[in-house]
Structure formats: structure tokens, C-alpha cells
Structure 1
């Protein structure tokens, strides 16, 4: 909606109100107590605003018909046991969301009184203590989200008997204990299971496949041991599987490659051995992460693992010969004893081998020495870029006896906001997955050889650099590499896709805040990957909350030229700000004009105005000069220019060229409208760009 201001106490006069939906606005101040007088209210949503105050001061005891209550993503405070008194004296409440606030204390046992509750969201607060077993009295609970708090202790066995549960998220706490072996039998409706970042030990339950609806299984950064259960291959609905950063041993079950829907598999930083499969999810290097398992071999070439050794048959032949001899000359009992002896010796040898500790056990504890060695001491020859908070180096990291090229972003901790940028980027990237995000491999928070604090992030290396270097000359020489029109459109679609994911499919919503060509990296196939989340925000964080403090000192939320006008007058970061930046980016991609170009200091004041003046008839006059020259040449190629795909630069029928650029520029201008309310949503942008591709390149 875009409402700004406070909620008027006069709202209490609307006594017949049944639905009050004011989410995703810019409302601030306290929630008026008068809302408690709306006794007919059934649905109340104030999420994603900037509301503050003590929740305990609000009294909804008269709202006996209330079924859905959403207060997530605000700045509400208070001790949760005390605050729970604000809830209505009713057993009709089905959904309660207090995620992403500043609540303290523990979950009170009175949670069990909400017997009709189906959805409970308390993640990303400052809650602590044990998760009470009384929560299991909520028999109809299907969504339980308690992640990113400070909960401790073990989970009650009855917790794993709540058969209605579909989504469980308790990641990033300090929970202990084992995951029960029977979990798949008692949670048949389970679809999403987030247990990462805790202290769970023991083995991965072999009964997980009995939860036939399971789609996402993530238990990284725990202390799990043993082998990857072969029974996981029965998870026919699984799309994401992350069991990284544990102490798992043994081989990768080969049948994991047969899982039909598996899109992402992370087995990094365990102590796995043996041959890596090559089909299914293993056939695409970006869909699987195996870093830190130095005894793996084989796999597709892109994984850069060493070849598996050829098995020698010499000892096997000797063993077969001995078996034949003993079979012929010894009684069956002697033969059986001999085989048992050989088996015992073999198992003992294997157990000793598997007992060797993993060299890299925790994602966040990769040593400084490894990064120093990988980058040749952070030498200038490996320096590939620098930004607001540090420098990026190219390096080589050992993996399974082979090498993987990496990019190491070293934070300059003397710069104001650098440490906060590091924390912000870690918190944003640890729970999001998308093919068009720059994959983060690990991080380092340690000390250098001089004892100084050292922080770095490690990413997959992108062979084709950033989009900025493809669009603009960075020296006196002209550009010698040029992206074709179709390649630019594909990059725009990639970026729109990831922003649509961040804005609409992430919970909480992620706002990038610094979208620009230098933060868009291109892999060897020129697929775009959005990176640099150092000043990103989780939607509607208010001044004073943990991540808000990390980014509020950085200043304006973005880079000059890409910052939406409302940020300049103090507006809070929003998804509309990212849309504005995307609009500027889209115009820049097809004009090769930066928004800060000197051209815009004269009669034409901005890139948007420059494009507007050319519409609708003169669009060819403003496109990238190399594309324009290509059109005028009538043969599609320009001497001394290397194309990204060795093909035509424009690739559109001549009669359709004007319509194509008009369509692109209209989307860019709409996204970059001065008023946030006039801008498109990223899901619509993504859809329109796909339509353009289908229309002009079918």
C-alpha cells in the first residue's frame, strides 16, 4: 500500500471490523491499545512495518474470534512469557507470527493452551531457554519456526511425535541431543526440516525416507557422524539436501544420482571418500558442493577432482586363489573361519581409516593460513578487484587432491562498517539458495600472522568477471569484448529472477540495496550471479535491531546513480528500492551509459530522461554504440570485437529491432519511476522479460 505514519487510536471505533490487513507499509510508533476493542476481529496483520513498543502493553483479550495474528518483521519488544498475556482468551487462534522482532525470555508453558494453533513463528528474536514440551499440546501445528534464537537443551521426545508437522525450523540455536531414529515414522507429513547450526550429534536417521513428502532436509553445521545413509535415496520428493559441515565418513551413496527432483546437494566439509557420481544432481557443478572432502575423486570435470585410482587386481587374484585352494583341501568349517578372519581384519582396517578426524570440520573455521597460501600471500598479482569494504583476490584451494579456483573477499577492517558488512553478508547468504546468486563456499574470521583481526568470505570464482567490465571500457582502449543483445537479455532475466526470489520467496524478504553492474558476476557460460550482500537488509528491520545496526552506519543504502530518490529523504530500505536499481541497470545494459555519465550534467539530467527523450522513435540513437554500429553495418559483425558467443551482436530481425528496444526501455523506465508505487514488482518484471525473449528470439 505504501501507508506512512502511525495507526490512529480511532481505529477502535470500527467495532464491526473483522479483517485488518496493514502489512508491508511504513507504519511506525506503537500499536494502539484500542485495537483490543475490536471484538469481532478475525484477521489482524501488521507485519513488515516499523512498529515498536512493549507487546505486553497490548491487550487483545476481548478479541475472542481472532484466528490469524501476524506481527512479524517489526521492532516489538518485551519478555515473551509476559507478552503472551496479550493474546485473546480464545482457543480459536490458528496462526501466530511474531518472527523478526526483539522479543526476549523463553517460550512460556502456556503455549500449550493454544490448542487450535496451526502456525507458530518466533524465529529471529532474542529468545532463550528450553523449548517447552507443552508445545506438543498444539496437536494441529503444521508450521513451527524457532530459528535464529538462543534456545538450548534437548528437544522433548514428544516433540517428534507431532504428526501434523509439515515445516520445522530450529536452525541457528544451541540445541543438543540426537535426532531420533524413528523420526520418519512419526512425522509422515514432514516437508521441510531445518536443523542446521546447532549441536546435534549421533547419526542421520535412516527412517527419514518414511517421510515421503520431505522436500528440504538441512542439518549442516552440527556434530553428526557415521555414513550418509543409503536410505536417503528413497526421498523421491527431495529438492534440497544439505548435510555439510558435520563429521560424516564413508562413500557417497551412488543412488543419490537417481533422485528425480534433487536440485541442490551440499556434502561439503565432511570426511567423505571414494568416487563421485556423474549423473543426476552431480551432472551440474553448481548444483553440488563437495568442498573440504579431500579424499573424493572422479565426478564431472567441472568439479576438478582428481581421477580415481585404477584398482589393482593382483591382491584380489591371490585372495581368490587362496580361497579356491582352501575350498578344495579344507573342511567347510575351516574355510568359514578363514573368511571370518579376513573380514574381521578388513573391518578393523576400515574402522581405523574412518576414525581419522576430518581436516576441515567447520565452515566458519577455515584457517587464515589456508587462504594465505591459496592467494600466494594475497599478492597483487592475484588482486582482481576492490570495493567499499575490502579487496578480492583470486586463489586456488585444494579439493580432493585437485584444485578449485576461488575468489577471496578480504575485509578492510579499518574502514567504518566493514565488520558489520561481513556479518550482514554472512547472515543473508547462509539461508538462501538460488542458481543466480554467487555461491559462497566458506568464510574466515581469525587473525593474520601479525595477530591482527582478519575476516574474509570465499566464493566460487566467476571466469568472466563482472558485468561492468563487459559494458564499459576501463582504460583508454576501446572495448574488445561485447555482449550480444540476447546475452544482455539473458543476464537481465537472470538478475530479475534472483530479485524475484529474494523479494517474494525468502522469509524474511531480502533487500540487496546495492544492485549495479560490478556486483553482477558472469560464469564461464555468461550466466549472471548477483553478489555483494554487504549492506543488504532483511525486510523491515528497524533502527536498533541487530542487522539494522549493522547496516545503518554505512550511510546511503547503495551506490550513487542506483539509489532510489526516496532513500535520499530518509525512507527505509524496501524492495521498491531494488526495483529502481534494476531499472537503472537495465537501461545501462542496453545504452552502455552509466547513470553518473558526464553526459547527464548538461541539458539531460539523468539516464532516465536520456531514454525518455528518445522514445518512441529514436531508440536506436541511444543504444550501445557497438550495437548501433552493428545494425548500420548490415552484416552483424564489427572488426576487432570479440563476442561472448561468437555470433551476431543483435540477432533480431531488422523489422523488429525498434520494437525490441522500446519494450526493454519501457520496462527499465517503469522500474525506475520516481514514485515507488509506480514501479513494477520483480515477479512481473521477470515475466515481461521472458515474454520479450519468447517474442523476439523464438
Structure 2
């Protein structure tokens, strides 16, 4: 009895002591957490508002993001902190590690920044899991002392860490997961990581490593199940040791410059579920042993140099995604491939496959994406591609397919995207096919016939309708105007008749309209001026009547207008001078009258041929304009009557001061910004049609030569103050910006005049026009042609210095927002001047840290091809947007091509083109590089990139390589990775290549 009481008392006292200890322990952890939150973290969304010590709720175990566990001593303590995606900011919270039982810190997808220092980090040596993915940490990767023996998971993906991977990372004896993806690291993939023998997952993807091989030591990682080295600068052959990693489930070596053949030993990867080898330079045939990988579900070897036929054993694999595109495969597809019940994604485009497509493709699987384009397939399209009603993309263009479009396709409501152009398809398109919920329909260059069914109005989200080069006929249905998302209409080279629907003005997103080579009649709808996104309009080779609508001149971004070979009458509207046209053609019509002065240039001559009643001076063979005799008689009689009625006063006034030379009425405010030897009175008489040298969205540009011999450029803005908001904005921006800027590489604003009737800006005249004209004009230019590299390099440095001044030395700083080659002007010595500040904005800077604030955009600022990618997801811009645009200009100087040159191919631009070449560029000498070709015979070096019109020396190649490196830095997808313009100037001036 006494013993029982004693035992009970002992247990009671033990529980009491334990309770007191737990309370003290919990209180200590809670105090650490609240102190760290207060001193190191910022919680703008209030996700951690329950981190408060109150009353009886002193344990943190129920707080947000906190996990507690029972320790070996039987005590409950904090073991893990997971604040993933809570929107917190601040610096790394070292204080968390004062919790002695803490083993897991996960802070992913937040806004934490700053560096991570090794000394305070030593507090965390007991940590087993440290995950900091998707934050803003920078500086060198944190060093880990030898005390970090328990670290099992280290993930630092998508931050801004730099420098080489420290050697200390090779001493994590217990490490199972290492993820450094998406950082700005340097050096090569280090071999010492091959000694982390406990690793099961290693990720070093999307890192700008220097070119280097896959370390042979990685073959020691026998426990590895996941190896990801995508876009990691890898070169050379895949070492044989990699094929010994029999536990590998995921092998991703894509987007590198790996070479050589895949050996049969790949068949050892029995656990392989996914193998990604795309975008390398691998060659040879696919080894049949791949067919032994029965667990394989995703296989991608696209964009390599593989040859030969597809082995039947590989075709029989139960793959979910099967990608062989962009290789040199030949032969027929094995029928067995159609029996795969798992097949979802099948892409074999850009090969040389032949024969008939297996008829049962799609019948046994939930096929979603089917792309066999650019091969040599014959026969008909498989009728059951959409048997499981899951097909989304059907792409089969550029083959030799025949027959009709299967009726079953009209019932495939899952279809979103169809491209079957450049085949020999025939017959009428099924009615239900027209009303599929597509975003793109391309049937061009076949032998299809019939009409566009009005049910196309049900395809509400159609953005591209391309059916050119067929035998379609009938009228363009009015119902087409219900497709509010249409961006492209290409009905060219068919037999469409009737008129263009006047309701076309409802298609507000239209960018390109091609209806040439049809039988269209009627008039061009003036309502088309409402399609303000339109950049290309081609109505040539039809039977259109009536006049050219002056309203077309109001289209703000139209740069291609072809109305040739119609039956148009009337005069050419002077309003068309407002357009910035790269292509303009009204030849072979019935137009008459005087050609507007802005078009009276040799470059436009072919535009007007075939209109015998057009006239204009100095445009042989266009006849000069002469007054008709009866017109002169009427003029004489009218003048005599006026003289008789007014006593000759009016005649004397006209004779001594012609109306077109008079100074406009109203008070004019003249502001002079530089010391000049002329006045506004010297400018007015020169603003005549004969002196127009250009036009744009904001006004006309005149070349004015004064009596003193000085030549000026004068921009006369459309309308008067308050009449055109965009014109008002341009005037104000130019005056506020250039009025106070003084720099040798920025165009000089000499004077401005703000009057009631119109306003104009006076600049120094640039004899050699714009850099864009010099690089891209098909006509012989005044400048030395072709432009040599020394001059191009000098232009690059000068323009960079001008932009650097705007960003760093101007007060306030200025972001240009429309940097492009056409806005870099060249004087008589080819010295560059940054110009056109109509979109420029002052850049505010915060007082605390000097970080540039951003400028809100009311509309998209910039020009197509130069716009930074972040414009797509933000309404704000800063100086890094200018840096991207300048990078595009550098690539123009190197290649001599426009940013969106057609030679780059579909969905390509100058940045992607340069990136692909630079990715596989080796550091051999220019002479060796010029002879270094891949198996397709294409250059993979600078000789493929540089403008072929330039004759280059070895030194030129060295400079071009340096400028290319700078350009690629400037055009990084991430603004944070782009250098400042001040740094750009330094990099361009450095004698050595950019590291």
C-alpha cells in the first residue's frame, strides 16, 4: 500500500516536472520564432499573424508553418518550419537555428534576399533539410563548414547566386538531394560532386556553366534516380559510366552540345521512366536496346542529328510522349506504333519519314498532340486520330498527303489547333469542321474547294484563319465578323468573290489581312480604319473599285499596304503619309492626280507604275504635272475679277507673300535650347510638301536648308495643342527630355515652337539617316555600303554611351522606351545619336536604396521585335527594358538582319536565332570556326551569324564575339540578369572577351 502511494507520487512529480520543462521549452522556441519574425522577416500578407505569445497559448506547435515532434527524450519541440509561398520578404533568418531541435527549414517561393554568410550559418549545422527555392538570394553560394554532417537535402533553385560551386559541397557525406537549378553560376560542372555517393537526386539545370564534359565521376552515384543537367554547357560525348546508373528513373541532358552516338549500353537503364536528350548534336542510329526499357514512358531525342529508320522494337514501347522531331530519320513508321494504348504526345516533324501513316493511329490511345509535319508521308490522314475525343493539336503540313479531310474530324470538339498546309488534300471541307473551337486553322496550299460555311462564327476563339492557295469560292461570309479574336486572315490565291464585309471593323485585334489574288469587287471599307492593330493589308490582284479610303492613314501601326492591280480610281490620299510603310504598292490601277510630295522619291517609283494619269516631278517615267489650258484660263479670269473688285490689293499681297509661306495665325511660343543663328521666321517658309523626307504617327519630318547653308530636321506634329493626345504627349516628352539633355551621342533639340495651328521641333540634321536605313535599306544608301565592322563597333559604343547617360547621369534618370536601330541617327562621320524621345519617361528613384522605380505604361511602349519579354506580364518598365532593346540593336549590327527577319523561321526572332548559335559555339580560332560545320552542312559558329556583306579580319571576329556576348547578356529573359548600360559600355570597351 505504502509502495503504491510512493509510486503514484513519483509519477505525479515526474509528470509535473515534465510539464514544467515542456512549458519552458515551448516558451523558448516561441520567443525565438517571434523575435526572428520581428527582426528579420516582413509579412505583408499577414500569414504569420498567429505567431503571438498570449495567455495560455504559449506553445508554437499550432502556429502557421510550424511542425512539432516528440524528441528522443520524450519532449515535444519544434522540428520543422515550412513557410512556402507565404509572400514573406527580408533576409535569411539565421535565428531560427537557435531552436536546438530544428531539422527542417523550408522557405521556398518568397521574396527573401541578400547574401547568406557562412559564419552565422554555422548556427544551422544540425539542419537536415534546407530548401530556399524561388527567392532573390544573391552573392556567392553559401559555404558549409564540416559540422554540417547531417545535411540530407539542399535546394537553392531559382535564385541569383553567382560564382563557382564551392568544393565544400563535395563533402556532404549524407546528402541525398542537391538542387542548384536556375542560378547564375560559373565554372564547369565540378567532378567532386561525383563523390556524394548517397545522392538520389542531382539537379544542375539552366546554369550558365562554361563548356565542359559530364564528369566521369558521376558514374559513382549508384543510388541516383534523378539526374537533371539541362542547359548546363555540356560538351563532348556522354561518358559510359552514366549508363551504369541502373536506378536512374529520370535522365535529362537536354539543351547542351553533347556529341557522339548513343551506345547499346543505354539498355542497362532498366528503371528509366523518362529520358530527355533533345537539342544536342548527338548522331548515329538509335540503338535497338532502347526497346528493352519497358518502364520508359517519356522519350525525347529531338533536335539532334540522328539517322536511319525507327526500330520496330522502340516503336512498340508503351510511351506517353514520343518525340523524334528535327532529325534525319528515314523509312516508314512501323504499324505497331498505333497499338500503343498510352500514346498522348507524338511529334516526329522535320525528318524524312516516308510511306503511309498507320491507319489506326489514335484509335487505341488518348492522343492529344500529333505533329508529323515536314516529312514525305503520302496517302490519307488517319481517320481515327480523335477516336478518344482528346486530340488538341493536328499538325501535318509539308507532306504529300492526299484525299479528303475525314468527316470524323468535324466531331472532334477537343481540337484547338490545325495546320495541314502544303499537301494535296482535296474535296470540300466538312461543314462541322468550320465550327470547331479552334485558335488556329491553316489549310493553305492544298486543292480544297467549296465555300467558307457561315457556321465558322461558332469558332469564337479563332485567332488565325489561313486558307490561301486553294480553290475556295463564293462570298466571304458576314458571320466572320463575329470572330472577335481574329488576328490573321489569309484568304489569298483563291476564287472568293463579292465585296469585303464592311463589318470587318468589328475585328479589333486584326494584325494581318491577306486577300490578294481573288475575284473580290466593291469598295475597300473605310471602316477598316477601326482595326488599329493592323500591320499588314494586302488586297492586290482583285477587282476592287472606288477610291482609296483616306481613313487608312489613321491606322497607327500599318507598315505593309498593297492595293496593286485593281480598278481603284481617284487621287492618292495625302493621309497615307502618316503611315510608317515598309512596303507600299498601288500600281496598276486607275488612279489620277498629283502624287503627294512625301511619296515623290525614287524608292516609291514602282509603287505608282501602271497608273497613266498620275503625275509628279522627278519620277521618270511618271509624267510631270502640268496645268490644263482651260484650268489656266479659269485661273486668269478669276484673278482678273478679284483684282477688279478689290483694286488689285489682294493680287499684290499674293505676289509678294504667297499663302503657303505665311506665318500661322495666333501667338507662337518659341523656345530655344541651343545657341542658333536662325529664328522661327526662317523655318516657316520651308515647311512645304517638297521638303518632306518622312512621316510617322506623330507628324511629318522636313529637311530645311537655310540661307546660311545650315541644314535642319524639323518635325511638324499633327494637329494643334489639345487636338491629338498622342501628339501632345510626343511634343511634351521631346521638349522635357531633350530640352535639358547635353550629350554627344544624343540628338540635339535646337528649338521648339508651340502655336495655335501647329507645333514643330527643330533638330540638328543627320546626313546619313538612321542606322536601320543603313543596315536594312535595299536601295544604295548615302553611307559607305556595306557598313564595315569597325564603323558598326563604333556605333555600338556611341549609342551605348548615350543610353548610359540617360540612365545614370541625367537628373532625373530617363528611360527611352523605344530603343531601336531606326531611332539611332548617324551624322556625316557616322557618329551615332540616340533620337526620338516621344515615349521617354523620367525614372523615379527611391531615396533609401537608389533602386530604380518603374514607369507605368498606359499602352505598349516600344517597337515590335525590340520589346522586352516582361512587357507580356507587367504594365511597368524600367531601364532594363532599354537594355534589352539595345541588345537587339547589337544583334542587328552583327547579323545585318531585322529583328524579325523571315529567314529565322516561324516563331523565331533575332534573339532566339543568336542564342541557338551561341549555345554550341566553341572557342577555337576564327579560321577553324569558319570551317567547322555540323553534319547538315550548317555553320554553328560566328560565320553563320555575322553579316555576309562584311569582309572580316581575325581581330574583327574577336570583337564580334565580345559584342555577341554583351548582346546575349542584354537580352536575357530575366531583367535582373541584364547589365546596366554603364556596365554595357565597360564591357564593350574592354580589350578581352566578356567572361
Pick the TM interval, shorter chain: 0.3 to 0.5
Give the number of the structure whose alpha-carbon radius of gyration is greater. Answer: 2
Q: Which structure dedicates a bigger proportion of its chain to helix?
A: 1
- More RCO (CA 8 Å, sep 6+): 1
TM-score, normalized by length of structure 1?
0.47
